[in-house]
Amino acid sequence: MRGMLVAGNWKMNASLQSIETLINGIKQGLESVSENCGVVVCPPSIYISKVNELTQGSRILLGAQNVCEEDKGAFTGEVAGTMIKEFNCTYAIVGHSERRNIYRETDELVAKRFAAARRAGIIPILCVGELLEEREAGNTEDIVGKQLDAVLALEGIDAFADAVIAYEPVWAIGTGKTATPDQAQEVHAFIRSKLAGISKDIANNIILQYGGSVNGANAEELFAMEDIDGGLIGGAALKAEEFLKICAAGK
């Protein structure tokens, strides 16, 4: 039976000082979080080493916000899977909509990054999701389907036995406009049934997170939906109390 997973994507926020306050705050409230719910933080890569130290001995797991598609070499500004693995990262986000839309990462590049994470022994959190105009044009399943197909084509279904998918409708990210539980559930069910068409087992076991303006007040009704197995949290992951409330909704 799949568990729940709540991951905080700090994006490009934090400082040495704020990290310490945030991690200590999360640590102190962890007893309110079910053992069934994994708790992950994804700091900017420069802080991974520090957060690794601060989380030692706790159940907080670490994730990176991206990973290079290559293993080493002349790729200025990039970070390799082997490097983040050395600092104890269990997860790496790939294909976040900010990477796709601001930095023009294509479905094919995201698939290569997904593969690179797995080569390094890291569980990819593959982000998928549609823009507002794509939803309004009725193309949500098409877009999300294509984003999944690129990874399936490169890596095959078996790669999803050790992966997480986060559905993040772009129009809900950082806007305060959450997808309703029914809207989110509809896309989650689509993702699960698409995978089930290839492997029922993998589809049943994969964790499907929802992301986009999740907060302490709306997490419970989202996470109660059949195919929503936790969340990928942006803004609300920057305050320990709010993040813990969301984690506590992961029952």
Chain positions contacting ligand 13P, by CB under 6 A: 9, 96, 168, 173-174, 211-214, 232-236
152-163: buried (b, 16+ CB within 10 Å) or exposed (e) per residue? beebeeebbeeb
Q: How far is the CB of 218 from ligand 13P (least distance, A)?
A: 11
Task: Report yes or no: 115 and 99 within 8 Å, Cβ to Cβ.
Answer: no
Q: Would you state the structure tokens that stand for residue 85, as one six-digit string?
A: 């693995």
Of the two residues 206 and 236, which places its CB atom closer to ligand 13P in the complex? 236
Query: How many CB atoms are closer than 10 A to CB 198?
Result: 13
Q: Strand, helix or coil at 47?
A: helix
Q: Which residue, among 60, 57, 78, has the nearest Cα to 69 in the 3D structure?
A: 78
The one catalytic residue among 69, 98, 168, 242: 168
Q: How far is the CB of 93 from ligand 13P (least distance, A)?
A: 7
Residue closest to ligand 13P when measured from CB atoms? 234
Q: How far is the CB of 125 from ligand 13P (least distance, A)?
A: 9
Residues contacting 57, CB < 8 A, separation 6+: none
Q: Would you state the structure tokens that stand for residue 138, as one six-digit string?
A: 């009725």
Of the two residues 230 and 234, which places its CB atom closer to ligand 13P in the complex? 234
Q: Which residue, among 1, 3, 11, has the nearest Cα to 237 in the 3D structure?
A: 11
The one catalytic residue among 69, 96, 130, 188: 96
Of the two residues 128 and 202, which places its CB atom closer to ligand 13P in the complex? 128
Tell me whether residue 96 is one of the annotated catalytic residues. yes
Of the two residues 94 and 202, which places its CB atom closer to ligand 13P in the complex? 94
Tell me whether residue 168 is one of the annotated catalytic residues. yes
Q: How far is the CB of 92 from ligand 13P (least distance, A)?
A: 13
Kindly list the catalytic residues. 96, 168
